[in-house]
Structure 1
Amino acid sequence: AADKATYLRTVQDWIVTPQLKSSAGLAGVDSLGGYTKQYLVVPDIQRMAAMKITLHDLATALERNNTSAGAGVVNRNGEGLAVRADGRVRNADELARTVIATRESVPILLSQIGTVRTGQALRMGSASENGHEVVVGTAVMRIGENSRTVSTGVGERLKEIGRALPVDVVVKPVLNRTELVNSTIATVARNLAEGALLVIVVLFALLGNFRAALIAALVIPITMLLTSVGMLRAGVSANLMSLGALDFGLIVDGAVIIVENALRRLGDAQHGRAEPLPLRQRLDLVAASAREMIRPSVYGQAIIILVYAPLLTFTGVEGKMFEPMALTVIVALVFAFILSMTFVPAAIAIWLSRP
């Protein structure tokens, strides 16, 4: 069992991990399970003492005899050939033939003062699947990378690596973050769509004017578009925490009061008239009604923004979780207020010839 675990860990460390690191956006691969293969040297203290060799001499000789060195480049016929001296030990037999010291011009090999065998390093943990020991690798993403893109690339790269592995080794994803990300995106999209649809239905039912309700409802998609642009420029990720905090009722709140007041003013002016109001008069009336609602609209939006503002001061894990949510809500409310003071009054004056 130990030999199998060592074999799997060796495949993981020397075949899978180096190839997996070439995936875009990947910082590294953490491995757990199995045994890290090592060559163990068991010195014979009595023989070393007889030959006047210390443990420091032994360690220094082993280190110096297990190195690779570059020797520059040789130019020949327009080609540059890299020259290097590869002195690394490849197996236990080569390690046993390492020269540790010389006595009277006679080399003393490692096999003369100790034994060499294959062993395992002390491991800090293990992994198993269905009662069988396995090796688990965790792909670590770089800071600031797109988790969906990175996990998709790692999954594709893992399939390529699996086709080149020995037949007795199987590599497969245990936890694919792409599925979690896709599920989260689907949840956010469904919640946003259902929330927007519910608000639109309520607007149509309460305002009693199809075109007026449509104008107020248009604030939702336009605000979402502008908020997405703001999030992109600010580097805020669109996830369940940030987008899930959006309340479409708050977004259309300012637009609704502008629409209601404008309809009231237009209705009073239209009362007793057979022909529609001229465009200039409608623009003046709607502008006056919007000015009446500026103060309550500003106060209402400002109170909500002040509630979320303290979240921007969070640091650490709390800041990572709640700062995107607060920033998204604040940006959405600011854009919604701007639309309620610009787009909504203009649309009412132009599209509603009769209230």
Structure 2
Amino acid sequence: MLNKLIDTGVNNRLMVVLGLLALIVAGGLILPKLNLDAFPDVTNIQVQINTEARGLASEEVEQLITFPIEAVMYALPDVEEVRSISKTGLSVITVVFKEGTDIYFARQLVFERLQAAREDIPDGIGTPEMGPNTSGLGQVFQYILRSDTPGRYDTMALRSLNDWVVKLLLMPVTGVTEVLSYGGEVRQYQVQINPEQMLSYNLTIKQVVEAIEASNRNAGGWYLDRGAEQLVIRGVGWLRSGEDGLKDLGNIPLKDVDGVAVRVRDVARVGFGPEIRQGAVTLTTRDAQGKPRPLGEVVAGIVLKRMGANTKSTINGIKERLPTIQMALPEGVTLEPVYDQSDLVDKAITTVSKALLEAFVLIIIVLMLFLVNLRASFLVLISVPISIGLALMAMAYWGISANLMSLGGLAIAIGMMVDGSVVMMEHIFTHLTQPDEDHHEVASEQLAEGSQHPYDAAHDRSGMALRIQEAAREVGRPVFFAVLIIIIVFAPLFSLQGVEGKLFQPMAISIVLAMLASLLVALVVVPALATFLFTQGVQHKNSLIMRPLSAVYRPALRAALSWRKMVVTLALALFIGALALLPHLGTEFVPELEEGTINIRVTLAPSSSL
């Protein structure tokens, strides 16, 4: 089969060249779609359920909300774990599914079960909702809103702008699943009851709530025929916004006392007020001289990326939307990015790209020094970009992200990619430096030693293509098994499960894809292109590096063969010494990364006031 593959490549060498050109075009179309990330996403398949229960203590939250939801989630298929946290006013339940479960299928199952769980939760306590479809690496972009003129826009106004302007403009960006707001004060229409007035009019809070709810609704009256027209009838009773809304709230009647309407404003103070806060955001920057410049309290937003989305494309889409958002904000309000995960992605890609480039340059130097032929070196070198390009195209097709681990795998494999091509090219080169079998005697009689014109295609029985084909067939099997052994070495990484599997499998996949591509290049591309670059025999040139190396290696080899037992004993001693040092080797789950940021977390007592 390998010989047939080699023969097909040589006999259809023009098609191989056209295939390479098509590969370049396909790479230009497919590679921009490659998902770029900083690290592999090791988050398991999970769906989060959040329920806000205002006023309830953690014990009531556990009994009335958390337990009924947990009870129905255990019956879902492929569920590995259900865990929960019940806090004052908040229930958070996480349903973890087995690896390989489609996230959208998992969310659909949870959504269906939530309908049954809602029936077991008392009315008015809280409505469970699924959390955003994101992962542990989903926080890809963070920004702040601040007022350039102190006092012109307070934190309540900034929070409203973030919730109702910025968020709505960011949500349509491809890859964005949610925008979280932090800091500021959430504006509320507040009715602050006066207990004394309530007692004097013999009213209860329930009556006030029911009156407000009943007075804040629209009603539909269907249609009314008027001649040839059909008019839509509707009753408008919604409260207006802004200051007009406060007036409408205050004018809502509660009851009649001696023919006089008692309104909300008679028993309560109506106005705007902030929601009870549990957190705040402050920011301090440095000026041009490096001095701290406190900006005080600001409003922050965190953009969450949808699970599986392209991190780089998502951030680019957000950046393209920022000028439009700034135009929509009032004068004096500025949106400033404070964290951009694309910087980390660029640093990771730059690091690996630099390693690939350095390795590529070293390979060029080594090949030129040992092969001493520009054409032969070129044929070996093209296996690197072709193999990497094919591997990246396959990763883009299967949705595998290019990150620090997968690109690092390519950096590891770059030296192994050229192994098959080096063996193939060296054997072809050896064949071409000698005349064919029919002309050995003629060559020894007619060609002087060191002649620059050995027998070329004109003297050979079937031309140079046949000699290249025969040379490739002779080393086809060794090249195939050498690459196969390398692939088998990395095969155990595919058996890893959980976090380890998600962390190391991208590296194994990239290496295996690159090695398979390099095997295809060595068996098909190199022999086919050699028929175009070598149209006549070549003269063997001794390398300046090989001569002193051979002078050292030959005596060393003779000495090693003479003292075989000592060499084996020394090797065993080194092996045992390495095993003895192994327990002293430091271990870490992941390498330490210098992202350039510091995260400080301070934990206070639960009763601490903001």
| TM-score, scaled to structure 2 | 0.51
Partner of 1:260: 426
Secondary structure of the residue that 1:134 maps to in structure 2? strand
Which of 227, 245, 250 does residue 96 from structure 1 map onto?
250
Residue 68 of structure 1 contacts residue 88 of structure 1 at CA under 8 Å; is this kept in 2?
no
Which of 473, 484, 487 does residue 305 from structure 1 map onto?
487
2:249 is the alignment partner of 1:85: no
Bigger CA drift: 236-245 or 28-37? 236-245
- Aligned pairs for 1:232-271 (under 5 A) are 232-246=396-410, 247-267=413-433, 269-270=435-436
Which of 380, 391, 394 does residue 230 from structure 1 map onto?
394
Deviation string for 1:53-110 (max 9, x for gaps)? 4433333333343445677799999999997836035343332223345568764322
Partner of 2:367: 203
Which of 340, 350, 357 does residue 193 from structure 1 map onto?
357
- Aligned pairs for 1:202-221 (under 5 A) are 202-221=366-385
Which of 183, 191, 206 does residue 33 from structure 1 map onto?
183
CA distance in 2, matches of 1:82, 1:195: 76
2:522 is the alignment partner of 1:343: no
Residue 221 of structure 2 contacts residue 232 of structure 2 at CA under 8 Å; is this kept in 1?
no
2:493 is the alignment partner of 1:327: no
Secondary structure of the residue that 2:338 maps to in structure 1? coil
Bigger CA drift: 5-14 or 93-102? 93-102
Partner of 1:6: 156
Residue 239 of structure 2 contacts residue 249 of structure 2 at CA under 8 Å; is this kept in 1?
no
Which of 134, 138, 146 does residue 302 from structure 2 map onto?
138
Bigger CA drift: 210-219 or 71-80? 71-80
Alpha-carbon offset, residue 218 of structure 1: 1.6
Partner of 1:147: 311
Deviation string for 1:168-227 (max 9, x for gaps)? 322222223444444544444443333222212211212233222221112112223322
Partner of 2:165: 15
Alpha-carbon offset, residue 40 of structure 1: 2.9
Bigger CA drift: 192-201 or 331-340? 192-201
Which of 65, 86, 108 does residue 262 from structure 2 map onto?
108
- The amino acid across from 2:238 in the alignment is G
Residues 173/340 of structure 1: CA separation in 2 closer, same or farther (3 Å cut)? same
Secondary structure of the residue that 1:140 maps to in structure 2? strand
CA distance in 1, matches of 2:408, 2:361: 15
Greater relative contact order (CA < 8 Å, ≥ 6 in sequence): 2
- The amino acid across from 2:430 in the alignment is R
2:289 is the alignment partner of 1:127: no
CA distance in 2, matches of 1:215, 1:254: 12
Residue 188 of structure 1 contacts residue 243 of structure 1 at CA under 8 Å; is this kept in 2?
yes
Residue 406 of structure 2 contacts residue 506 of structure 2 at CA under 8 Å; is this kept in 1?
yes
Alpha-carbon offset, residue 250 of structure 1: 1.0
CA distance in 2, matches of 1:124, 1:301: 59
Residues 80/15 of structure 1: CA separation in 2 closer, same or farther (3 Å cut)? farther
Q: Which has the higher helix share?
A: 1
- Aligned pairs for 1:54-69 (under 5 A) are 54-67=204-217
CA distance in 1, matches of 2:230, 2:301: 41
Deviation string for 1:5-41 (max 9, x for gaps)? 2222122222322233343443231111111122333
Alpha-carbon offset, residue 323 of structure 1: 3.4
CA distance in 1, matches of 2:193, 2:156: 24
- The amino acid across from 1:222 in the alignment is I
Secondary structure of the residue that 2:188 maps to in structure 1? strand
- The amino acid across from 1:88 in the alignment is L
Query: Between the two proteins, what is the percent identity of the paired residues?
Result: 30
CA distance in 2, matches of 1:82, 1:249: 78
CA distance in 1, matches of 2:509, 2:248: 62
Deviation string for 1:288-337 (max 9, x for gaps)? 44344344433332233234334445566555544333222211111111
CA distance in 2, matches of 1:99, 1:310: 75
Residue 349 of structure 2 contacts residue 407 of structure 2 at CA under 8 Å; is this kept in 1?
no
Structure 1: 5+ residue stretches without partners:
none
Partner of 1:276: 456
Secondary structure of the residue that 2:409 maps to in structure 1? coil
Secondary structure of the residue that 1:220 maps to in structure 2? helix
Secondary structure of the residue that 2:191 maps to in structure 1? strand
2:306 is the alignment partner of 1:167: no
Q: How many residues align?
A: 355
Residue 74 of structure 1 contacts residue 83 of structure 1 at CA under 8 Å; is this kept in 2?
no
Alpha-carbon offset, residue 233 of structure 1: 1.6
CA distance in 2, matches of 1:245, 1:236: 13
CA distance in 2, matches of 1:197, 1:75: 84
| TM-score, scaled to structure 1 | 0.82
Bigger CA drift: 133-142 or 262-271? 262-271
Deviation string for 1:105-158 (max 9, x for gaps)? 764322233333432222232211123111111222333433333323322322
CA distance in 1, matches of 2:202, 2:185: 35
CA distance in 1, matches of 2:532, 2:224: 80
- The amino acid across from 1:128 in the alignment is T
Alpha-carbon offset, residue 159 of structure 1: 2.2
Residue 173 of structure 2 contacts residue 318 of structure 2 at CA under 8 Å; is this kept in 1?
yes
